[in-house]
C-alpha cells in the first residue's frame, strides 16, 4: 500500500509539474479552469478556446469586437492649464500606442491580438520594455493561458509568471500591461468561454448532429427492413450496398431493394427535431456572452441593417459593447504604462468618430452647425475631413442673426471711428419741419 501511494504521489507530481510548465498554474490552483478557458459540459463536449473558436458565432463576435477596437486610432493627449488637451506627439508612449508597439507588429495587429485575448480568456497581457528613465520603448503580447498571477505576501504586489516552451519568466507589475475583463477578485478576469461553456457545448453538439446528418445523407431519416435474419456474409454485403447511398454527395439516390426488403421512415427529420431552430437559437445565446447584437454578425432574421437603422445600431454597439472595453484599455494604460508623475498630465483616448460617422449629407449638416454656433473652428472640421488648414480658420465664429425680441427693429450701429486729423466734429442735427410751413 505504501509503495502504491508513493507511486501515485510521483505520478501526481509529474502531472502537476507538466501542468505548471504548460499553463503556469498548478493542479491545486482553483484558477486552473480559468487559464484553460473551458471544461467539460453536460452535452459531453469539451469546450476550450481552440474548440470554441471553431463555432462561427464565437469567431464572428471575437473578430468583430477586436478588429473594430484595433481600427480605432489610440492616441496620447496632454492636459493644458485651460482644461483643454493637445496631442502629446513628443511623448515616447505616443508612437507605441498609435503606430508601432514593437518591431514585429503594427498597432492594428497588436491591439487586435490584445482585445482577442480579452474576448477569449478574459485577460490580456503584454511585456513592457522600458529605458533606464522608465519610459516605454516596446510592448510584447503574451498568451494569457501561459500566465499565472499571485500576490507577493512580503511586498503586497502582484507577481506574474510566464511559462512557454519550458522556459519561465517572472515579471513584476512595472514590467507588465495587464488588462482585465469582468472580474470578481481584482486579479484575474473571467473568461467568457469558461463561463458560457454549457451553451457553447450545446452549440457544438448541434453542429455535430447537423454534420452527421449530412454525412449519412437521406438514410439518417429512414431504416431498411429485411424480410429475414441475415448471416454474417449477408450482413457485410448489405452494408457494402448501403454505403453507396450514404453521405451528402449521395443524398437523393434511390436504392435498389431486392428479396422483399422495404424502406421504413423513422419520422424524425431536421425540422421535427427542431435542429434548425436550435442552431439559430444558439447564435443568439452566444451573442449574449459577448454583448453583440446578432444582426452585427449576419443574423438577419427579423432584423435589418440598412437605412437609418445602421447609424442607431452603430451607436448601440459603441455604447453597450465597445465603450466598457475602451475604458478598461485606457485606464489600464494609465495604471501600467505611465509614470506616477505623468498620470495627472497625460491620458490615452480612442477616436470613435469613424464609427459614428453618418452619410455625407448628415455629417455636413452637423459640422456646419458646429462651426456656426462656435463649437468648432473651420480648421478643426477641415482636419477631421483630412483637409489642410486655412489662414484665419482657427477663430471660433457664431451667427449674428439671433437677437433678443426687445431689439427687433433696432438698426445696428457700427462703432464710431476716430478721424485721422483733428478733433471729432459733432454730427449735424436734421431739421424737422411740417408741410405747409412758410419758414421751411
Residue 129 belongs to what H/E stretch?
strand 123-130
Report CA dihedral (297, 298, 304, 308) to the nearest 10 degrees. Answer: 50
Task: For residue 21, give every residue at least 6 positions away whose Cβ sits within 8 Å of its Cβ, in sequence order, or none.
Answer: 163, 166
pLDDT value at residue 42: 81
> Using an 8 Å Cβ cutoff, are 223 and 266 in contact?
yes
Task: For residue 437, give every residue at least 6 positions away whose Cβ sits within 8 Å of its Cβ, in sequence order, or none.
Answer: none
pLDDT value at residue 32: 47
- Transcribe 183-228 into DSSP letters: -SSSSSPPPHHHHTHHHHHHHHHHHHHHHHHHHHGGGGGEEEE-SS
pLDDT value at residue 250: 52
pLDDT value at residue 410: 64
C-alpha cell at 112: 487586435
C-alpha cell at 344: 495627472
> Using an 8 Å Cβ cutoff, are 96 and 333 in contact?
no
Cα–Cα distance measured from residue 106 to residue 306, given in angstroms and rounded to the nearest whole number:
33
Secondary structure of residue 431 in the 3-state scheme: coil
pLDDT value at residue 57: 94
C-alpha distances out from residue 199 to 34, 134, 195, 259, Å = 17, 45, 9, 48
- Residue reference for cell 431689439: 407
- pLDDT tens string, the chain, 440 residues long: the values are 556 555 555 554 554 555 444 444 444 444 444 445 556 788 888 899 999 999 999 999 999 999 999 999 999 999 988 888 899 999 999 999 999 999 999 999 999 999 999 999 999 999 999 999 899 999 999 999 999 999 999 888 899 999 988 889 999 999 999 999 999 988 899 999 999 999 898 888 888 877 776 666 544 556 677 777 777 887 787 777 777 666 544 555 666 666 667 766 655 555 545 566 777 788 989 999 999 999 888 877 766 555 556 777 888 899 999 999 999 999 999 999 999 999 999 999 999 876 766 556 677 788 888 888 888 888 888 887 778 888 988 888 887 666 666 665 665 555 555 555 555 555 555 554 444 444 44
Cα–Cα distance measured from residue 396 to residue 23, given in angstroms and rounded to the nearest whole number:
58
pLDDT value at residue 323: 95
pTM (2 d.p.): 0.71
Q: In degrees, to the nearest 5, what angle opens at C-alpha 293 toward C-alphas 287 and 294?
A: 70
Q: Residue ranges per domain, the chain?
A: 1-30, 360-398
pLDDT value at residue 304: 59
Cα–Cα distance measured from residue 162 to residue 179, given in angstroms and rounded to the nearest whole number:
16
Using CB atoms within 10 A of its CB, is residue 192 exposed (0-12), middle (13-18) or buried (19+)? buried
- Residue reference for cell 464710431: 416
| The pairing of beta strand 85-87 with beta strand 74-79 | antiparallel
Amino acid at each position: 500500500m505504501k509503495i502504491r501511494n508513493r507511486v501515485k504521489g510521483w505520478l501526481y507530481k509529474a502531472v502537476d509539474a507538466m501542468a505548471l510548465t504548460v499553463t503556469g498554474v498548478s493542479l491545486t490552483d482553483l484558477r486552473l479552469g480559468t487559464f484553460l478557458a473551458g471544461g467539460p459540459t453536460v452535452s459531453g463536449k469539451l469546450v476550450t478556446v481552440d474548440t470554441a473558436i471553431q463555432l462561427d458565432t464565437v469567431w464572428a463576435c471575437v473578430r468583430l469586437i477586436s478588429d473594430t477596437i484595433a481600427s480605432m486610432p489610440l492616441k496620447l493627449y496632454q492636459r493644458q492649464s485651460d482644461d483643454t488637451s493637445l496631442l502629446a506627439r513628443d511623448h515616447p508612449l505616443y508612437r507605441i500606442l498609435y503606430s508601432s508597439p514593437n518591431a514585429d507588429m503594427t498597432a492594428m495587429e497588436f491591439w487586435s491580438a490584445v482585445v482577442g485575448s480579452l474576448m477569449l480568456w478574459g485577460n490580456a497581457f503584454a511585456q513592457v520594455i522600458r529605458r533606464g528613465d522608465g519610459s516605454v520603448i516596446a510592448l510584447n503580447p503574451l498568451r494569457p493561458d501561459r500566465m499565472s498571477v499571485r500576490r507577493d505576501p512580503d511586498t503586497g504586489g502582484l507577481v506574474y509568471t510566464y511559462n512557454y516552451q519550458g522556459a519561465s519568466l517572472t515579471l513584476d507589475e512595472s514590467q507588465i500591461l495587464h488588462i482585465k475583463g469582468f472580474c470578481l477578485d481584482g486579479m484575474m478576469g473571467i473568461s467568457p468561454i469558461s463561463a458560457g461553456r454549457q451553451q457553447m457545448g450545446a452549440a457544438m453538439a448541434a453542429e455535430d448532429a447537423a454534420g452527421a446528418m449530412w454525412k449519412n445523407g437521406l438514410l439518417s431519416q429512414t431504416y431498411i427492413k429485411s424480410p429475414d435474419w441475415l448471416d454474417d456474409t449477408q450482413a457485410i454485403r448489405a452494408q457494402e450496398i448501403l454505403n453507396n447511398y450514404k453521405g451528402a454527395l449521395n443524398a437523393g439516390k434511390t436504392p435498389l431493394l431486392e428479396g422483399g426488403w422495404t424502406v421504413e421512415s423513422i419520422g424524425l427529420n431536421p425540422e421535427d427535431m427542431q435542429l434548425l431552430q436550435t442552431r439559430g437559437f444558439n447564435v443568439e445565446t452566444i451573442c449574449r456572452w459577448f454583448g453583440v447584437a446578432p444582426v452585427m454578425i449576419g443574423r438577419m432574421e427579423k432584423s435589418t441593417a440598412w437605412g437609418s437603422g445602421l447609424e442607431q445600431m452603430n451607436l448601440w454597439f459603441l455604447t453597450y459593447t465597445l465603450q466598457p472595453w475602451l475604458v478598461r484599455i485606457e485606464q489600464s494604460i494609465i495604471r501600467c504604462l505611465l509614470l506616477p508623475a505623468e498620470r495627472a498630465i497625460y491620458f490615452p483616448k480612442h477616436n470613435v468618430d469613424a464609427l459614428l460617422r453618418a452619410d455625407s449629407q448628415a455629417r455636413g449638416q452637423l459640422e456646419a452647425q458646429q462651426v456656426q454656433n462656435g463649437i468648432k473652428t473651420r480648421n478643426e472640421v477641415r482636419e477631421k475631413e483630412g483637409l489642410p488648414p486655412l489662414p484665419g480658420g482657427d477663430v471660433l465664429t457664431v451667427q449674428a442673426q439671433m437677437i433678443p425680441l426687445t431689439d427687433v427693429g433696432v438698426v445696428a450701429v457700427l462703432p464710431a471711428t476716430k478721424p485721422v486729423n483733428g478733433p471729432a466734429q459733432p454730427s449735424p442735427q436734421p431739421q424737422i419741419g411740417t408741410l405747409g410751413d412758410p419758414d421751411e
